[in-house]
A and B are shown apart, each in its own frame.
Chain A
């Protein structure tokens, strides 16, 4: 008779480094899906003030009459915040493990094939986290509104007032570069981490991730640039 090695206790999936990566990928996917909706919604600013402001008001009505006013919006916000906290917490947790694994560094280092988006995930991610806070202070909380009057609910006027300033446009474009790089490596990584990648599909997944990153960049950046050049006013 063949005896099979008895299994000693192994940690549950979420305690393993790979399981944590899967949670990072899943939370990243939640944020990514939301970002796609956010980008598409932003494009409504290209129609006119009435369309954009009523779209913003629609978001508060979302889910009615099943959900009371703004409740569904708050559900989305809670899910998004949880995903964000999980994503950042695990990024820190995994990064600390990775740093501990190589305490003595090489005198000479060289990169053989790693691309720039892959090696900028940590710093790019930190930059994006800071940007998200700035962005909320800018358009949600209305704490930062240099050179214009922030009016809650007048989203079109707020956007135009904000992006009339070139330096705010510069901050947003820089953040969207970081976002595009993060989306490119992150989207490919979702497939890799969940084991849905293979040599056969790798090229297609990479190209699709690249295309998504470009579409997201162009979609988001079109708004501040459109205001700055006077196409949206």
Chain B
């Protein structure tokens, strides 16, 4: 947090503070309204917590850690929330903060959201992802296994086992590589589902389909993948797309609405091709 706490080798200067750890630390007195639910079948409710003395340098999850330490000291049940890498790349964390998935800062996971985006005296509502296919396990933790079911339906490529193939044997055009990578950036956090008024998983599924359809390795299963993943997301109970765009707006990896258009195109293509092969 402060420069004096950095002890490095003699002559090695501590890294200059970046915008994430500026010198102007403030303490915030916040009020939280947090969804508390004992278990998957239990009734839940919003519970109010006072959270005084929160450093603006803390991430949102560190703020919850502090609140939880205080709860534990008081002998109370800490707030359960999902997290893992805390560097914005794993997709485990995810909270709806004041009605916005991952909170007020665009292109940012909850763990990378810092408390300096809040002001003293703020009232913050913290809720879990809400979707039929995402049942609450406890408090703010939901079961996002439904996204795994969509992947299992077709979000993979068939690759021979054994030694890795020569990397340059399958040339990929730069534009295709960029397109695939932009979509592969999806970390499966489920914010798109949480933000969608229809709890639709279209942006997630679209990112996976777009990623693999752009690459030569994805071609053998291209049509089946699209048909199967779309069927899976429908049967899991996710809603449909109404082209509102809230998903792309909250996506921490900025997967665009364009990907959903591409998935629709892929589905049309796969359906036409299937129709042709049936007649043969």
Contacts and interface: CB of A to CB of B under 8 A. Distances in A.
Interface of A: 2-5, 7-8, 10-13, 16-22, 94, 97-114, 118-119, 121, 185, 188-189, 191-199, 202
User: For chain B, what secondary structure do more than half of its interface residues adopt (helix, strand, loop), or is it mixed?
Assistant: mixed
Taking each of A11, A12, A16, A20, which has the highest tally of chain B beta carbons within 10 Å of its own beta carbon? A16
Interface of B: 33, 35, 46, 96, 98-100, 125, 127, 130-133, 154, 156, 158-160, 195, 197-200, 220-221, 224, 227-228, 230-231, 233-234, 237-246, 248-250, 256-258, 260-268, 271
14 contacts: A4-B221, A4-B224, A16-B230, A17-B230, A17-B233, A17-B239, A18-B264, A18-B267, A98-B198, A100-B132, A111-B246, A114-B246, A118-B242, A119-B197
Nearest to B223: A7
A10 B99 contact: no
A25 to B, nearest CB: 10
Contacts of B257: 192, 197, 202
A12 to B, nearest CB: 7
Contacts of A189: 243
A35 B248 CA distance: 32
B243 A202 contact: no
A154 B220 CA distance: 64
A99 B256 CA distance: 24
A13 to B, nearest CB: 4
Given A113-B246, A202-B257, 12 more contacts: A5-B158, A10-B230, A11-B234, A13-B271, A17-B230, A18-B230, A18-B267, A106-B99, A108-B96, A109-B99, A113-B248, A192-B261
A184 B260 CA distance: 19
A185 B242 CA distance: 10
B100 A118 contact: no
Contacts of B234: 11, 16-17
Contacts of A12: 271
B221 A192 contact: no
Contacts of B262: 195, 198
B100 A101 contact: no
Contacts of A196: 261, 265
B260 A101 contact: no
B154 A202 contact: no
B115 to A, nearest CB: 18
B154 to A, nearest CB: 7
A106 to B, nearest CB: 6
Q: Which 7 A-B pairs have the closest CB atoms?
A: A195-B265, A110-B99, A101-B239, A98-B198, A101-B199, A17-B240, A98-B239
B220 A4 contact: yes
A75 to B, nearest CB: 28
A107 B127 contact: yes
A121 B242 contact: yes
